[in-house]
Every structure is written in C-alpha cells, then in structure tokens.
Amino acid sequence: MRTDPRRDRKVTRSAATLAILTGLAACTLFAQSDRRGSLKVDLPKDSPISVLNADWGESSTAVRGGAMVLDLRTALTLRNSSQRRVRSITLLVQAQEVTPGGKASVSVPSLDVGPGETFPVKIDLRLLRPVSNNGGPLVQVALDGVLFDDLGFYGANKLNSRRVMTVWELEARRDRKFFKAVLEKSGQNGLQEEALKTMARQGDRPMQGVQSVRGRSTNVEPEHDLQLAFLSVPEAPVEATEGYAKVSSNEVHAPRLEIRNRSDRAIRYLEMGWILKDTRGADFLAGTVPADLQLAPGAKSSILQDTTLRVPDRFAVGGMTGFVSSVEFQDGSFWIPSRAALTDAQLGRAVAPSPEEQRLMQIYQKKGIKALVEELKKF
Amino acid sequence: MNANRHPSEIDLALYSSGDLAAMARLKTALHVRGCADCKTRVQAYRADREVASTVALTMPRNIDWDRLSDEMVGNIRVGLAAGECVAPLASKSQPSKFSFGKPWQQGLAYAAVAFVVMGAWWLNTPAAELSAIGRISRALWTQTPVAMLAEPGVTVEASPGGVLVKENGSSMALTSPGNRPVAVSVSLQGSARARYMDDDTGQMTITTVYVQ
C-alpha cells in the first residue's frame, strides 16, 4: 500500500498544532485554577458583610530564576448585610507560606454604604516566593473589622482596626464639618478658595520611601544620640517633655520619649507623628510612634521602641521633630487635633491630611466645586 | 619481471631507509628479492645514506667559532630590524583578528571588559546588599569602626511603589497598578501604610503591612 508523503506531513503538522493548542489551553486552565486556589476569602457566618462577587481580573504567575512571582488582581464586591450604615472596613490579608512573620491589611475608609448596598474592594497583591509550593491557598483574606456610622464596631480586631478606623472616622467628621462651615459662611467661592489652599498644603508634602525594621539595625556606621524636638499642640492631652533617638546616617533607631498626661482622664494609647529633617534642611513626615500605655492624669511615662526607621541613602538624618497626633482615653474616647490647631503653619504642614480630606479634594479636582458641594450635603 | 612493475625510485629510496608503509614495504621487498636491478639500486641508496651520515657527523676543520657566533647574532639582528620595518605596513594592510594593538589599547579593552562585568554584577545585586557593601567600603576607607552587625529580619517598607513585607527572600507587596499612593508612612511599632485614591470611583483604599 502506498502512502502520500505530503499527506503524512500535513497530518503530522495538524497533530502537532492540536497538541500545542491543547497544551496551551491546559496551561491557561491550570493557571486560572491556580490563581483561584491562591486566594481564599473567609468571612464569619454572622458577618455584617458578605461577598457578592469575586473577580480574579488579570492575575498572573511568572517564574524568575528560583523564585515565583504571583500577581493577584482581585476585585471583591461586598454587600452590607447589616441594618446600619458602614463607614469603613478592614480586611486582613495573610500569606503564611510566604511571609510567616508578616501580614497585611486592605482598608476602605470614608464609606457611606447603606443596608443592602454594595461596594467594591480591590486587593492587588504581589507575592515573591520560592518555586516549591506545598499546595493549599497562598493568601487568606479575613474580615478584621467593620465600623458603622454610630461608631459601633464588628470584627476580630487582630490589627487594632477599631482604633485606626475610629480615628479616621473622627478626622472625617472634623474635616467635613469644617468644609461645611466654610460653605455656609462663605459660599461656593469661599469653599473653592479653601479647597485650593488645602490642595496646596497637600501638594507641599514630599513623599519618601521609608522602612521599619524590628530590633537591630543593618547599618554599619556608628550611631550618635540625637535630641528630639517637639511641636507644641496646646490642646493636646499629652505633652512630650524630652526625647532621644540613636541616629546613624539614614537610620533612626530606638527612640525614647518622656511624656506627661496633662489631662484629667486616664490614657491608654498614644500616637506621635515624626518629621525627619535631613542635614540640608529638607523634611518630610516619616512615620509614627504608637504606644500602648497606662497613664493616669498628671502621670509621667517613658516610651521606648526597639525599632529602626530607615529612609533612602541619599537622606542623612539631621533632626527629628515629633508631635502628638492622636490619643485614646481609658473610657474609649479619642482626642485628635482640631482644625483650629491645624491652622498653625508648622503643625498644619506636619500633620498628615485625613483620608476624608484627601478624598474630598480629589472630588473637587476631578469633578469641580459643584460635585464637592453635593458630596458635603450627603451626610 | 616486467619493467613496468618495478617499484618507483621514490619507493626504492624509502624502502632502503625503512620509511615505506607496511603493505608497500612487503610488496617492494618481494620484488627486490627477485629483481637484481632493483636490489642494486636499494644497495646503492643504503651506501649513499651511510656516507651522508658519516659526513654529517664529522665537523669541518679550522672553524672560527667566535666569528660564526658573531655572524649568527648579526643575522638575527638584521632579521629583527627588517621585521620592525615591515610590521607597520603588514598590520595596516592585513590587520590580525587576534591583535590586541598597543598597550593603551589593551588597557582600554581590559577596562571595557571590567566595566561590563561590574555593570552586570551591579544590576543583578539586590539594592540592600549594594547599600551594605557601600557602607562597609566607606567605613573601611574612612577607618571608621564598625558599630553593628548586619541582621536583616522581617522588614516592612512603604514607598511610592506601595507597601511591602520582606522575610527570608520572600515578600508580599500590596500595590495599585497604574496608581501612585497619595501618602505613605511607617509606624515604629512595625507597620507601613500607603493610601490610594481610585480616579474612577473616588474611593480611598489604605493598604498596610505589619511585622507580627
């Protein structure tokens, strides 16, 4: 029996093409299932928030040498299943297999989600890990907390999200009240003028990369003690009296502060903001020093953090100025700087704008003054 | 025996000195044994070789060794000088593929290779290690005493690129593709935070990484 060589080659080519296409399809399906299996969202049964939809978007996996880079682009659509309005939410993100000593969170503040309404939460993660994998979900997403409009809270609160979200909400209320007052007093033109001033102040804040390392530093240069300076906030319930930190080039290590409670209420938590100044005079808000403490009225205490703050190499730390940014009293109430205190030029420049202030300015910048007025009228 | 079948003169000469290949030697030996002419030729070749060897081993008389040495040295120098004169023309007309040129050109070539190697190393070395090497080099150069040992642990970082927690070569980063944070900060309790604004929805998202 004779065979046609051309026909044979054609059949072989078709079979090869089919095999390649089948392989590619299998890889795509595997990658898709791998991505879906990579992230698990786990909410409690009695959660006031439920997952309506999960979009896996453009997630991808790539191998680079001995490491695997996993990009997870997830958009969750969540529904408010409670009877109260949701103001903010924090999701706990953990990758035990990748970084057992670290965890992450995604928070959405400044929300106004009514009962039954939905809202999106985007989780864009990049994981770098060894190629070997023991299986199982790489990333677990859980609910850490939900803050309602009555400042009520639901959640495991493993990340102290109740405190953080309450401060954001109080700052949001302060700033909305301020802009509403400007609108009532000076109309749209006055509000526009204030928005421009606020945006100029926000734009005047340089952004630098900063690192925080627990324990010893990796720096090899000798340290010296730096005396810390403090911005006076007359209305603050806490006063910082003295402070030192060990400084070496671009690192600040183990800051220690002496503080005094000058209010008539006991304090259980304090957060101080820090401005770093380099030897050439440039400065930026580097971070915060939070402290859990028990401070009776009039009592003094020390705060010591065995941590290192590291800024880019080009920045040589020449000075450090602190200010009280928030206080939680024993009774669960909070103190934050008022808008009046923020009118002080030095303090106004040092204190970070609230998430709500930034959101309102974004609305003005993108949609104009009428959209800002409409937003302020909502609640 | 047919004359046409006589081995050639070359084969006979080689046979006489034992330099013929094995098969040809066997064939020639059989022929020489039965052929008087060829046998005579082979014997003549052998006799000539012996005479030539004896002459070569006997040194000529009255040789002036000093003069011979001077002549040889002189010839070598003349040859070297002639080579120097011809070399530039030869290198211009036919440049060698493997020529490294003049010393400064060789130096330049070595510098270029070193630059490429250093560049590849620099680009492939993690920034943290480069930074540590730079600091150690500075400390050694300035004779500054080394204060602390390197001990990288769990690190959190906030930068315009997002927030990141690093541990043992693995990392988890929270990013926002195509979107720069509107603010970043670090807490000395061991956390780093970045704020993002969604241009489309106006929704604020705050990402944080923590050291446990």
More confident residue, A364 or B82: A364
Contact A99 B151 (CB under 8 A): no
Taking contacts as CB-CB distances below 8 angstroms, the residues of chain B near A288 are 185-188
Pairing mode, strands A251-261 and A300-304: antiparallel
Question: What tens digit of pLDDT does each residue of A52-64 get?
Answer: 988 876 677 777 7
* Mean pLDDT computed over A190-211: 82
Q: How many beta-carbon contacts under 8 Å exist across A and B? A: 233
Q: By CA distance, what is B185's nearest residue in A?
A: A287
Structure tokens at A251: 């690192």
Mean pLDDT of the region B38-66: 77
Tell me the pLDDT of chain B averaged across its residues: 77
Chain A residues lying within 8 Å of B206, measured CB to CB: 106-109, 355
Q: Of the candidates A39, A155, A55, A47, which has an alpha carbon nearest to the alpha carbon of residue A94?
A: A39
Say whether A99 and B170 touch across the interface (CB within 8 A). yes
Question: B146-155 pLDDT, tens per residue?
Answer: 443 344 567 8
Classify residue A51 as exposed, middle or buried by CB count within 10 Å of its CB (0-12, 13-18, 19+): middle
Q: Which CATH number fits domain A211-352: 2.40.360, 2.60.40, 2.30.30, 3.40.630?
A: 2.60.40
Q: Are residues B141 and B161 in the same domain?
A: no
Considering only CB atoms, A355 lies closest to which of B151, B169, B204, namely B204
Asked if residue B161 and residue B147 are part of one domain, the reply reads no
Rounded average pLDDT over A269-285:
82
Distance (Å, whole) CA A34 – CA A96? 17
Q: Which of the two residues, A54 and B62, has the higher pLDDT score?
A: A54
- The mean pLDDT of A211-237, rounded to a whole number, is 77
- Asked whether residue A275 carries a pLDDT value surpassing 60, the answer given is yes
Nearest chain A Cα distance for residue B182, angstroms: 8
* CB–CB contact B184 A99 (8 Å): no
Which of A120, A125, A222 minimises the CB distance to B174? A125
Nearest Cα residue to A243 out of A285, A291, A198, A196: A291
Contacts of B185 in chain A (CB under 8 A): 210, 285-288, 352
User: Is A105 close to B208, i.e. CB distance below 8 A?
Assistant: yes
**Overall pTM surpassing 0.95 (yes/no):** no
What ipTM does the predicted assembly reach? 0.83
Cα first-last separation, chain B: 108
Q: Best residue in A77, A99, A314 to probe B by mutation, most B CBs within 10 Å?
A: A99
A residues 83-122 closer than 8 Å to B (CB): 93, 95, 98-111, 119-122
For residue B173, give every residue at least 6 positions away whose Cβ sits within 8 Å of its Cβ, in sequence order, or none. Answer: A125, A126, A127, A128, B161, B162, B163, B164, B165
Q: Does A211 touch chain B (CB under 8 A)?
A: yes
- Which tops the pLDDT comparison, A220 or A208? A208
In contact, B151 and B132? CB cutoff 8 Å: no
* Cβ contact, residue pair A130, B170, below 8 Å: yes
Distance from CA of A100 to the nearest CA of B (A): 8
For chain A, give every residue range classified as CATH 2.60.40.
38-159, 211-352
pLDDT in tens, A12-42: 566 555 555 555 444 444 444 444 566 788 8
**pLDDT > 70: what percent of chain A?**
83
Tokens representing B134 are 């730079």
Query: Residue B92 is part of which domain span?
Result: 64-96
Q: How far is CA A132 from CA A63, A126, A135, A373, B168, in A?
A: 11, 17, 9, 54, 15
pLDDT at B158 exceeding the cut of 90 = no
Least Cα distance to A101 among B170, B151, B193, B150 occurs for B170
Query: Which chain A residues are closer than 8 Å to B145 by Cβ?
Result: 222
Nearest to B208 among A104, A125, A313 (CB): A104
- Structural domain tally of chain B? 4
**What is the C-alpha separation between A317 and B120, in angstroms, rounded?**
32
C-alpha B53 chain-centroid distance: 47
Q: Is A201 exposed, middle or buried (0-12, 13-18, 19+ CB in 10 A)?
A: middle
Confidence (pLDDT) at A26: 45
Q: How many CA atoms lie within 13 A of A207 on its CB side?
A: 17
- CA A308, A314, A316, A321: dihedral to nearest 10 degrees? -70
What is the DSSP secondary-structure string of B144-187? PPP--------EEEEETTEEEEEETTEEEEE--TT---SEEEEE
Which residues are registered as beta bridge partners of A308? A213, A253
Residues B205, B166, single domain; the answer is yes
Instruction: Please answer whether residues A211 and A102 qualify as being in contact, where contact means their C-beta atoms are separated by less than 8 angstroms.
Output: no
Residue range A38-159, CATH number: 2.60.40
The answer on pLDDT for B3 being more than 50 is no
Residues B188 and B168 in one domain: yes
Using the beta-carbon criterion (under 8 Å), do A102 and B172 form an inter-chain contact?
yes
Highest mean pLDDT among A51-60, A153-162, B19-28, B135-144: A153-162
Least confident of A238-252, A258-272, A364-378: A238-252
Looking at per-residue confidence, does B176 or B63 come out higher? B176
Interface contact B209-A102, CB threshold 8 A: yes
Question: A311-359: per-residue pLDDT in tens?
Answer: 877 788 888 888 999 999 999 999 999 998 888 777 777 788 899 999 9
| β partners of residue A80 | A49
